[in-house]
A and B are shown apart, each in its own frame.
Chain A
Amino acid sequence: MKVLVPIKRVVDYGALFVHSLSNADPVLAHNTTHNTTTAVKIRVVNGKVDTGSVKHSMNPFCEIAVEQAIRLKEAKAATSVSAVSIGSSKAHEVLRTALAMGADSALHVDVGEAEALPLHRTLTLSRQKVAKCLKAVVDKEKPDLVILGKQAIDDDANQTGQMLAGLLGWPQATFASKVEVSADKKKITVVREIDGGLETVVVNTPAIITTDLRLNEPRYATLPNIMKAKKKPLEKLTPKDLGVNFVGKLETISVAEPPKRSGGVKVETVDELIAKLKEKGVIA
């Protein structure tokens, strides 16, 4: 069974933090080194998101997807794992990370800088285009299983896996927190995180799975593996090579910072807190 893992290079999770990572989750803090006193905040400049000075890394949900694919290979359920990333020339960085984690080969669909600028005022690389690109990659690579993250932490769309499944006509098991492949590799049992609890579904291969946070804990890329990854194949293509026509239908008019909440007051006692809440009318 061949597994394809689409991954995305995004603003580092740590850059989204208000101040420090001291309480952060080790899973997502992994593979990164953060300045624990002053994390860079995302800024909005002239109606665009300014990510220029911010550290980038692999989207956390994509790391989980790569980890899951490698675990399937280690369990002999998968024969090979290839990673693909669609984005600017810098996307090869996250592909090298995936190779260092254990992927066998990588494919970089280079869309140029302008296309890849997140939420630029002109047309951007929408999920629709990414899904079409991925469909072309799937047609080329012919995997039996595609594992994606459930969402990218920059655009928060939560669409690509579902759209790809729709384009391919494959079954989808989204928000996976457990994945088990049957002995004959024809069926995959997936536990999904849904509102109110968990749900178990079985999908026939070829299939699409998107990962939730609790599926696994991604491994670190060790130094020897990072060195080895440099020798693994990394193919470069353009959307044109794949015959994908990019016609945009969504334009970002502007990006603004949300209204700020003003900091409130510190109270000294429980009695004072209750009095304040009564004043506000939120408790009787």
Chain B
Amino acid sequence: MFRFSRIHSALSSKRFASTLVVVEHKNGKIASSTLNAITAAGRAVAKEVASVAGVAKVVAVSDAAFDHGAAEAFAPLVAATVAAGQFSHVVAAASAFGKNFVPRTAALLDVSPISDVIEVKSEDTFVRPIYAGACLALFYHCQYPPPPHGKRDRHCKSSDKVKLLTVRSSAFAPAATTGGSATTEAGPKVEIKNSSEWISEEIVKSDRPELGSAKIVISGGRGLKNGDNFKMLYDLADKVGGAVGASRAAVDAGFVNNDLQIGQTGKIVAPQLYVAVGISGAIQHLAGMKDSKVIVSINKDPEAPIFQVSDFGLVGDLFKIIPELTEKIKK
């Protein structure tokens, strides 16, 4: 069963924008990334709203078709919900779930979706990274031809009646889980063409905090040499209550599972502390972690590019340094 939330917020310009946030959840728990999406939605509906608007309404839809987040089921449902509810924005987290169904929904509504939003400038202007985060692009919805930049006249409202966004979780603070008082209503009934079937999943079980929301991330690369050596990183992570990540090289070499991959095409994290161990620092990896508050690199190559973005670098043999760090660092 999946749920939608609807966020209302009065605009000072007497317009009324409303945002549909598609909630991702599993085993009865809301995915933390959705809380970040709710924060982004609060900004999308009104730049005048200083504090995040709470959830005004929950549209609950319960059907076995939605059990596993299939885009073939979600896209028509969200499109129908948008049609029924007159939403101006649809927001979902840029998770595997969000990336999968949002563009399909956009095609059904004939609008251009915007991926991986990191900043909401106004209700039709969004910032997102491109080229593995090497550049930031600013997008803006408008009818063709666009007005000269800086001269938006009011007749040139978006030709997209609804803006579909996925938002980067690490760029928005999570919304508070208490304090809201939303009403719940049933969602629209949609007919779902059964053209795909969910068979099974292999979810990696872990007691460690989730990568996306961990305060500390210890990440290993090719320098770890093999999967067994990752145990050192797990020990360090456990000592400080952190999560373990990996570079693509480490995943491709089979050291760890793909769900740990951090980078342009993996997970994007922005913890308080990111420790890169045996990672050279290709830009594709940096794309996934360069917004961390403090970056520490441990690498034997003093020329490794990772040192260029690190607050603290330690040149040396990780096989000596990591056990020593694990021993000396406080819980």
Residues of A near any B CB (own CB < 8 A): 11, 13, 16-19, 23-25, 27, 41-42, 44, 49, 61, 119, 122-123, 126-128, 131, 150-151, 153-167, 169-175, 177, 189, 192-204, 207, 212-214, 247-258, 261, 263-271, 273-274, 276-277, 280, 282-284
Contacts and interface: CB of A to CB of B under 8 A. Distances in A.
Interface of B: 68, 70-72, 75, 95-97, 99-108, 110-116, 125, 128-144, 146, 149, 158-160, 193, 195-204, 216, 222, 240, 248-249, 251-252, 257-259, 264-265, 267, 272-273, 280-284, 286, 290, 293-296, 302-303, 305, 307-315, 321, 324-325, 328-331
A157 B115 contact: yes
B96 A49 contact: no
A258 B135 contact: yes
* Most chain A beta carbons < 10 A, residue from B113, B216, B307: B113
Given A250-B139, A256-B136, A18 B308 contact: yes
Contacts of A280: 293-294, 311
Given A16-B134, A164-B107, A203 B196 contact: yes
Contacts of B111: 128, 249
B322 to A, nearest CB: 9
Contact of A263 (B196, B251, B309): B309
A17 B308 CA distance: 13
B330 A283 contact: yes
B134 A172 contact: no
A18 B305 contact: yes
Given A128-B106, A174-B100, A266 B315 contact: yes
Contacts of B202: 197-199
Given A157-B115, A249-B112, A201 B144 contact: no
B314 A267 contact: yes
A23 B250 CA distance: 11
B159 A249 contact: yes
B96 A197 contact: no
Given A153-B131, A253-B149, A266 B307 contact: yes
Nearest to A264: B311
Contacts of B321: 270
Given A162-B102, A249-B144, A267-B312, 18 more contacts: A25-B252, A41-B134, A128-B111, A128-B112, A156-B116, A164-B107, A166-B106, A175-B96, A197-B259, A247-B159, A253-B139, A257-B134, A258-B129, A258-B133, A261-B308, A266-B313, A270-B325, A277-B294
A131 B107 contact: yes
Contacts of B158: 249
Contacts, number: 293
Contact of B248 (A193, A207, A213, A269): A213
B115 to A, nearest CB: 5
20 contacts: A17-B282, A27-B252, A127-B112, A150-B265, A153-B264, A161-B103, A165-B107, A166-B108, A194-B97, A197-B201, A199-B202, A203-B197, A204-B196, A213-B248, A249-B143, A250-B139, A252-B137, A257-B134, A263-B308, A277-B296
Contact of A271 (B115, B128, B290, B328): B328
A16 B104 contact: no
* Most chain B beta carbons < 10 A, residue from A61, A151, A194, A256: A194
A11 B307 CA distance: 25
A77 to B, nearest CB: 18
Contacts of A171: 72, 195-196
Secondary structure at the A interface, as helix, strand, loop or mixed, is mixed
Nearest to B252: A25
Contacts of A177: 258
Contact of A18 (B251, B258, B273, B283): B283
A189 B204 CA distance: 21
Contact of B103 (A16, A162, A212, A264): A162
B328 to A, nearest CB: 6
A214 B252 contact: yes
A256 to B, nearest CB: 5
Contact of B280 (A23, A266, A269): A23
A18 B308 CA distance: 10
A250 B137 CA distance: 12
Contact of B272 (A24, A175, A249, A282): A282
Given A126-B112, A213-B248, A163 B107 contact: yes
A171 B71 CA distance: 8
A247 B298 CA distance: 50
Contacts of B116: 156, 158
A257 B252 contact: no
* A-B interface, 4 closest residue pairs, ranked by CB to CB distance from nearest: A166-B107, A162-B103, A264-B311, A18-B305
Contact of A193 (B102, B125, B258, B264): B258
Contacts of A154: 130-131
B137 A153 contact: no
Contacts of B331: 284
Contacts of B201: 194, 197-200
B217 to A, nearest CB: 11
A161 B102 CA distance: 11
B72 A159 contact: no
A50 to B, nearest CB: 10
A237 B216 CA distance: 52
B104 A162 contact: yes
A131 B328 CA distance: 55
